[in-house]
Chain A
Amino acid sequence: MRVSNVTVRKRLTLVLLVGILVFFIIDIRLGYVQFILGNELTGKARDSWSRNIPFEPKRGEIVDKNGVPLATNISAPTVYVVPRQVEDPEKTAEALSASLNMQKEKAYEYVTKNSSIVRINEGRKISHEKAKEVRALELKGVYIGEDSKRHYPFGSYLSHVLGFAGIDNQGLMGLELFYDKELSGSEGSVKFYANAKGQRMNDMADDYQPPENGYDLRLTIDSKVQTIIERELDIAEAKYDPDGLIAIAMDPNNGEILAMSSRPGFDPANFQNVPQEVYNRNLPVWSTYEPGSTFKIITLAAALEEGKVDLENDQFHDPGHVEVGGSRLRCWKKGGHGTQNFLEVVQNSCNPGFVELGERLGKETLFKYIKDFGFGQKTGIDLQGEGKGIMFNLERVGPVEQATTAFGQGVSVTPIQQVTAVAAAVNGGILYTPYIAKELIDPRTGQVVMSKNPEEKRRVISEETSKKIRYTLESVVAQGTGKNAFVESYRVGGKTGTAQKAKDGRYLENNHIVSFIGFAPADDPQIVVYIAVDNPKGTVQFGGVVAAPIVGNIMEDSLRALGVAPRKDQIEKELTWLDTPMMEVPDLIGMEKKELQQQLINLRLDVSGEGNTVVKQAPSPGTKIKEGSIIRIYMNEGD
């Protein structure tokens, strides 16, 4: 008997059709997942199967303007563990703890950690011998990755500027921090495929994504000049045992920093050994203090530019003090400099003379120039932690404030501000933004990816005024307070500075920052050098005595190193009782004993031989020597 009920038959057929339709829909969805979503799902699935072993990029090198490496990398192996590949955690932990000098429990924790890949901190940046030792253990699941460690070939040299990088090669201080992004590059990795238990799936090839190395950084620093400066600072440190030392050398024609250093210094590889404030204060840009007389250059520049003074013809009488707003400001020289023209005012660094110049300018004009020269604001150098300095608020400037500002007291400036301002005063009148990073170079292609050009901020004074300043400051060195910075035939110009240090609103006794800022050659300055010595011991604390000779030494060697040609015309040095006059060695050959005594009033003789006539002499005739020097002669029997 067949089911004859029509409804039942119809509905059975309907159910069959609906059922088949649903299966068909399911099949379409299956196809959609496999064909339309397939690629996307496959990608996601591969991500879920893959495990990464990171490869750190090589940090970019830092080189000086001539390519001398200042910060480089040395390779340092690092130990990684893939816990799920470790076959015998107990044994592995024991072996690792023995060779990496860590506790066994700690090692066991690493090798059993519930993580796809673990970096062993005790095994970071280890020596190659250690790495070899670990590799020789042939432990399953233990890998040695190539890491790199920062290396500073010159040690503490330039350390404040370079700064340093941490264990993760991350920039922590100085240029390493300022240009961290560019130096860092990006991480690469080796990708291997693993099952959900982290074991490697052997049938799938590993992917290698190379790390992208960081850019190399080329500085404006000239390592030759830097070396000279470091040497001079070391000598000064030994000689004066100062509280601190600051040195900057800059190319005045573009704002490039040629050298920068300070004391106390530190070794970037062991920065932890010094107090924090030693390594995180880059004194040449951070510290602010009273500039003292070096600031008079600004007052001079303003007065010359405004036509308020005729250096040769305007006379000034300095009685040793000046009355301003009811108070008496004294000149540094007791009894004063007497009557002098303004060129001599500058040469003598005469305070009342500069008070006069300040009065002639008026406070608005004086402060406008100070601002134009960049004081009271950051120079914008590409270094961290730059200071701003403090200026008097113009509304609160009375006659006293105006007067002290004119000779560099009561204001507070940074060394880098002084250097850029003086550079502008002598380079023809252009204020530049100082900078220290010249180029970023892609190490793979050698191509320059970023190049910094000199940045003119503004014209401050005219070419003509600048020329007058150069002449005036050259005369300060040749004939005034800066004589100790004089370098034969290199036409050094400059200005001394001696500033009292203030603490808790009062000046300290016998505690000065003595400084000198110099430039050379005066006809076309190629370098500006600033030196400040904080509280030198065992000497008179005058910039001309302590700082000027250091600048002189730096100038002489640096100009030669930079290949600057010696000049012919220079303002001749005025001799003081401290200077021994030079004289030419006379021709003594052929003379007899009797004659010699009349000739050599200012020289001493070292005689050898028994004879009566001079046959040889050293040095040879015509050589310039100091008075009182010894001349060796050799006597022989006359015919």
Chain B
Amino acid sequence: MPTKKTTPDFILMIITFSLLCVGLIMVYSASAVWAEYKFDDSFFFAKRQMLFAGVGIMAMFFIMNIDYWTWRTWSKLILIICFVLLVLVLIPGIGNVRNGSRSWIGVGAFSVQPSEFMKLAMIAFLAKFLSVNQKLITSFKKGLGPALLLVFTAFGMIMLQPDLGTGTVMVGTCVVMIFIAGARVSHFAALGLLGAAGFVGLILSAPYRIKRITSFLDPWEDPLGSGFQIIQSLYAIGPGGLFGLGLGQSRQKFFYLPEPQTDFIFAILAEELGFIGGSFVLLLFSLLLWRGIRIALGAPDLYGSFLAVGIVAMIAIQVMINIGVVIGLMPVTGITLPFLSYGGSSLTLMLMAVGVLLNISRYSRY
């Protein structure tokens, strides 16, 4: 149990608020045309995002003052609840389908994605598991094996929706945590080989798959189908140049890029604010990563350290995948850009996660 509280990491807070500000401005700029067209109110999305940000910031400050050991205590229960929710969401009538995935529970604006909660619950629980069993992590049977079994069970359930983006982020985050905890590199190598072998096997059994996976490399092969979003995204980024077309001057937001305020908001940002703007956002995320790792390094115990690295890894991986998709480095997966994309559930959860991080920073010593 940590003892003495100090001030939280203000730099992290500033970074978070900076990202939030850029996000609010970009959500407005990207969504104004679409919002005007659909709701006769160019501020429709911006107003809501502002509300979500307010709620999120309050939650962040609230959680910042909740001792992170609380999560250790309740993590098992939370995880079980999340598993139940993951089962429930698959049942038609309870779970709602959006964009082809049955991922949502609830009514209207009060809908939530259980998989998003699962991400955090898994981090909280895995941190506990790893900190308790840290000595055993080098053993496949007693440490690594059970951990992976848990993670991939959750992944499998998420894939039933299916929600590849969230599932990938969760698995990636967990792998980073397990790696930090000290799992053997040879185990990772073996697992990596196994994964590669399975991958090759899948491709050999059906060669068309490789095309599906690599189609993002040449989106013009199917410009109206699988390549459509990538092409429209590149049409936004390309003309941006060094300084961009200027805030509010995007052309691709004029109905070319579908729902530009969500997953592809970084494309509009790069179009309007150019390479400078895009690099600035990437710099902010790098700083966030640095502060997060720093908190992990200074955490008073292994649980805090693992919890911190889990949160920061989740944010960083999500950023990497989202921007990787937008600039055509990765196939489209459909996840949001933390702090910037429009979406209440994503934004409040991210701010709550930062709240946890800030709480850990109050006990850190460097």
Residues of chain A having any CB pair with chain B under 8 Å: 1-3, 5, 7-9, 11-13, 15-16, 19-20, 22-23, 26-27, 29-31, 33-35, 37-38, 40-42, 44-45, 48-49, 195-197, 201
A9 vs B298: C-alpha distance when bound (angstroms): 10
What is the CB-to-nearest-CB distance from A121 to chain B, in angstroms, rounded to a whole number? 28
Q: Which B residues lie within 8 Å of A11 (CB)?
A: 179-180, 182
Query: Which of B7-15, B94-102, B323-331 touches A?
Result: B323-331
Kindly identify which residue among A5, A23, A44 contacts B282, using a CB–CB cutoff of 8 Å.
A23
Q: Which A residues lie within 8 Å of B320 (CB)?
A: 22-23, 26
In the complex the two chains form, is B241's CB within 8 Å of A3's CB? no
A22 vs B313: C-alpha distance when bound (angstroms): 12
Q: Which B residues lie within 8 Å of A197 (CB)?
A: 37, 254-255
In the complex the two chains form, is A30's CB within 8 Å of B275's CB? yes
In the complex the two chains form, is A5's CB within 8 Å of B302's CB? yes
What is the CB-to-nearest-CB distance from B227 to chain A, in angstroms, rounded to a whole number? 12
A15 vs B173: C-alpha distance when bound (angstroms): 11
What is the CB-to-nearest-CB distance from A481 to chain B, in angstroms, rounded to a whole number? 78
A20 vs B294: C-alpha distance when bound (angstroms): 13
Known: A23-B286, A33-B327. A2 touches B365 (CB 8 A): yes
Q: Which A residues lie within 8 Å of B241 (CB)?
A: 34-35, 38
Q: Which B residues lie within 8 Å of A38 (CB)?
A: 238-241
In the complex the two chains form, is A12's CB within 8 Å of B238's CB? no
In the complex the two chains form, is B180's CB within 8 Å of A35's CB? no
Known: A5-B302, A45-B238. A16 touches B182 (CB 8 A): no
Known: A15-B180, A33-B327. A8 touches B293 (CB 8 A): no
Q: Which A residues lie within 8 Å of B238 (CB)?
A: 33-34, 37-38, 40-42, 45
B234: CB under 8 A from chain A?
A: yes
Known: A19-B289, A29-B327. A201 touches B270 (CB 8 A): no
In the complex the two chains form, is B256's CB within 8 Å of A31's CB? no
Kindly identify which residue among A3, A16, A30, A196 contacts B270, using a CB–CB cutoff of 8 Å.
A30
What is the CB-to-nearest-CB distance from A139 to chain B, in angstroms, rounded to a whole number? 23
In the complex the two chains form, is B182's CB within 8 Å of A7's CB? yes
Q: Which A residues lie within 8 Å of B296 (CB)?
A: 3, 12
Kindly identify which residue among B182, B234, B282, B300 contacts A1, using a CB–CB cutoff of 8 Å.
B300
20 residue pairs bridging A and B, Cβ less than 8 Å apart:
A2-B297, A2-B299, A2-B366, A5-B302, A15-B179, A15-B313, A20-B289, A23-B282, A23-B319, A26-B323, A29-B327, A29-B328, A33-B234, A33-B238, A34-B240, A34-B274, A41-B235, A195-B254, A197-B255, A201-B251
Count of chain B residues near A, Cβ 8 A: 55
Q: Which A residues lie within 8 Å of B323 (CB)?
A: 26, 30
In the complex the two chains form, is A45's CB within 8 Å of B251's CB? yes
In the complex the two chains form, is B234's CB within 8 Å of A49's CB? no
3 smallest A-B Cβ distances: which pairs? A41-B238, A195-B254, A196-B255
Not counting A16-B293, A41-B235, A45-B236, a sample of 15 additional A-B residue pairs whose C-beta atoms are within 8 angstroms of each other reads A1-B300, A2-B366, A3-B302, A8-B180, A12-B297, A15-B176, A16-B289, A19-B289, A27-B278, A33-B234, A40-B238, A45-B251, A195-B33, A195-B255, A197-B255
Known: A23-B285, A31-B275, A196-B255. A8 touches B302 (CB 8 A): yes
Q: Which of B255-275 contact A (CB under 8 A)?
A: 255-256, 270, 274-275
B301: CB under 8 A from chain A?
A: yes
What is the CB-to-nearest-CB distance from A8 to chain B, in angstroms, rounded to a whole number? 6
A206 vs B313: C-alpha distance when bound (angstroms): 49
B237: CB under 8 A from chain A?
A: yes
In the complex the two chains form, is B309's CB within 8 Å of A34's CB? no
Q: Which A residues lie within 8 Å of B120 (CB)?
A: none
Q: Is the interface of A mostly helix, strand, loop or mixed?
A: helix
Q: Which B residues lie within 8 Å of A37 (CB)?
A: 234, 238
B161: CB under 8 A from chain A?
A: no
In the complex the two chains form, is A41's CB within 8 Å of B234's CB? yes
A96 vs B109: C-alpha distance when bound (angstroms): 46
Residue of B nearest to A193 (CB): B251
A195 vs B253: C-alpha distance when bound (angstroms): 9
In the complex the two chains form, is B180's CB within 8 Å of A29's CB? no
B171: CB under 8 A from chain A?
A: no
Q: Which B residues lie within 8 Å of A23 (CB)?
A: 282, 285-286, 289, 316, 319-320
Residue of A nearest to B130 (CB): A8
Known: A15-B309, A45-B235, A196-B255. A20 touches B286 (CB 8 A): yes
A29 vs B328: C-alpha distance when bound (angstroms): 9
A11 vs B305: C-alpha distance when bound (angstroms): 12
A40 vs B241: C-alpha distance when bound (angstroms): 12
Known: A3-B305, A11-B179, A33-B234. A26 touches B290 (CB 8 A): no
Residue of A nearest to B363 (CB): A1
In the complex the two chains form, is A8's CB within 8 Å of B305's CB? yes
B134: CB under 8 A from chain A?
A: yes
Q: Which B residues lie within 8 Å of A31 (CB)?
A: 275, 279
Q: Which A residues lie within 8 Å of B235 (CB)?
A: 41, 44-45, 48
B181: CB under 8 A from chain A?
A: yes
B242: CB under 8 A from chain A?
A: yes
What is the CB-to-nearest-CB distance from A29 to chain B, in angstroms, rounded to a whole number? 5
In the complex the two chains form, is A2's CB within 8 Å of B300's CB? yes
Q: Which B residues lie within 8 Å of A196 (CB)?
A: 254-256
Which residue, A22, A30, A38, has most C-beta atoms of chain B within 10 A? A30
A424 vs B365: C-alpha distance when bound (angstroms): 114
Residue of B nearest to A194 (CB): B254
What is the CB-to-nearest-CB distance from B353 to chain A, in angstroms, rounded to a whole number? 16
What is the CB-to-nearest-CB distance from B295 to chain A, in angstroms, rounded to a whole number? 10
Q: Which A residues lie within 8 Å of B328 (CB)?
A: 29, 33
A37 vs B218: C-alpha distance when bound (angstroms): 13
Q: Which A residues lie within 8 Å of B290 (CB)?
A: 16, 20
What is the CB-to-nearest-CB distance from A24 to chain B, in angstroms, rounded to a whole number? 8
A467 vs B176: C-alpha distance when bound (angstroms): 108
Q: Which A residues lie within 8 Å of B329 (CB)?
A: 26, 29
Q: Which B residues lie within 8 Å of A15 (CB)?
A: 176, 179-180, 293, 309, 313
Q: Which A residues lie within 8 Å of B236 (CB)?
A: 45
Q: Which B residues lie within 8 Å of A34 (CB)?
A: 237-238, 240-242, 270, 274-275, 278
Known: A3-B299, A35-B241, A41-B237. A26 touches B282 (CB 8 A): yes
Q: Which A residues lie within 8 Å of B33 (CB)?
A: 195
What is the CB-to-nearest-CB distance from B256 to chain A, in angstroms, rounded to a whole number? 5
Q: Which B residues lie within 8 Å of A20 (CB)?
A: 286, 289-290
Which residue, A9, A11, A35, has most C-beta atoms of chain B within 10 A? A11
A45 vs B304: C-alpha distance when bound (angstroms): 49
Residue of A nearest to B256 (CB): A196
Known: A20-B286, A26-B329. A8 touches B237 (CB 8 A): no
A44 vs B286: C-alpha distance when bound (angstroms): 33
Q: Which B residues lie within 8 Å of A13 (CB)?
A: 293, 297
Kindly identify which residue among A3, A7, A16, A41 contacts B239, using a CB–CB cutoff of 8 Å.
A41
Known: A12-B180, A15-B309, A44-B235. A30 touches B278 (CB 8 A): yes
A3 vs B365: C-alpha distance when bound (angstroms): 9
A40 vs B296: C-alpha distance when bound (angstroms): 44
What is the CB-to-nearest-CB distance from B188 to chain A, in angstroms, rounded to a whole number? 11
A2 vs B179: C-alpha distance when bound (angstroms): 19
Q: Which A residues lie within 8 Å of B270 (CB)?
A: 30, 34
In the complex the two chains form, is B237's CB within 8 Å of A30's CB? yes
Residue of B nearest to A36 (CB): B238
A45 vs B180: C-alpha distance when bound (angstroms): 45
A23 vs B318: C-alpha distance when bound (angstroms): 12
In the complex the two chains form, is B251's CB within 8 Å of A49's CB? yes
Kindly identify which residue among B242, B252, B275, B297 contacts A3, using a CB–CB cutoff of 8 Å.
B297
What is the CB-to-nearest-CB distance from B24 to chain A, in angstroms, rounded to a whole number? 22
Q: Which A residues lie within 8 Å of B301 (CB)?
A: 1, 3
Q: Which B residues lie within 8 Å of A27 (CB)?
A: 278-279, 282
In the complex the two chains form, is A5's CB within 8 Å of B182's CB? yes
B301-339, CB under 8 A of A: which get 1 and which 0?
110110001000100100110011001110000000000
What is the CB-to-nearest-CB distance from A586 to chain B, in angstroms, rounded to a whole number? 100
Kindly identify which residue among B237, B252, B300, B327 contacts A26, using a CB–CB cutoff of 8 Å.
B327
Q: Which B residues lie within 8 Å of A42 (CB)?
A: 238-239
